[in-house]
Amino acid sequence: MQTKPVLFCVVLLVSNTIFNAIFANIPDPIKDIVKMLIVPQPLDPVLIKIQAEILPTRLSFPTFASQNGYIAFAQVVTDHLDQKRFSLPMPKEARTAALLPESEDFMADASQNVQSRTCPTKPCYPEGFLTGWLGAFGEYAHEKPQPDVAAFTFNVGGAVLGLDYNCVDENVVGFGGSYVYSRVNDDADAGNANVHQGLFGFYTLLHTSEIYYNLGLFGGYYHIDQVRNMPILGTLFVASSNTHGWQLAPHAEIGYDGYLSHVCNFEWFGIGPFVLADWVANWEDGCLEHGAGLLNTKVDGRFCSLLRAEAGLRFHETIKYCWGHLVFQEKGSYAYQKMFGTGSITALFPSVPSTGPFTGRTLQTAQNLGVFEFSVLFKPTKRSYPYGNLRYQGQFGSKFQSHQGIVEIGKDF
pTM: 0.81
> Which strands make up the sheet holding 287-288, listed edge to edge?
287-288, 298-299, 344-348, 358-361
Q: 151 pLDDT exceeds 70?
A: yes
**C-alpha closest to that of 306 among 280, 277, 273:** 280
Q: What is the pLDDT of residue 148?
A: 67
Q: What is the pLDDT of residue 87?
A: 61
Mean pLDDT across 243-271: 78
* Residue with the larger pLDDT of the pair 335 and 170: 335
Q: 280 pLDDT exceeds 90?
A: yes
* pLDDT digit string, tens, across residues 32-66: 545 545 555 555 565 666 666 788 888 999 999 99
